[in-house]
Amino acid sequence: MFSSVLIIHYGLHFIAPALIAYLFFRSNWKVVYAIFLLSMFVDLDHLLATPIFDKNRCSINFHPLHSYIAMGIYLIGLLFKKTRILCFALLFHMLTDAIDCYL
């Protein structure tokens, strides 16, 4: 059985971005949703950790692409039209992972 934490986590990674894409970018929602899904590649930094997965570890500021410095770069990226959606997707990903730290 799935726990409520997993349902919340994966709902925020897959369902919420679809809703955001459809509600706010209706004319290009499929492209925006694809960008949200591609932003999941930020989790490749988990491969640098030992063990790769630890259910009790908070990703925020542990993995390099989940660090506060990286998040600062993502925030700066919001200022530029060409990187805005990707950086928003990355920040939403960070928010989703941050919620895990408190559940």
pLDDT tens for 88-101 read 999 999 999 999 88
Q: What is the DSSP string of 55-87?
A: TT---TTTSGGGSHHHHHHHHHHTTSTTTHHHH
What are the b/e assignments for 6-18, b being 16+ CB within 10 Å? Answer: eeebeebbeebbe
Q: What is the DSSP string of 10-71?
A: HIIIIIHHHHHHHHH-GGGHHHHHHHHHHGGGGGGGGGGSSSS--TT---TTTSGGGSHHHH
First to last CA, the chain: 17
pTM value is 0.92
Q: CA-CA distance, 13 to 34, in Å (whole number)?
A: 12
What was the pLDDT predicted at 84?
Answer: 97
pLDDT of residue 2 exceeding 80: no
What was the pLDDT predicted at 54?
Answer: 85
pLDDT in tens, 45-67: 999 999 988 888 999 999 999 99
Residues 6+ apart with CB under 8 A from 72: none
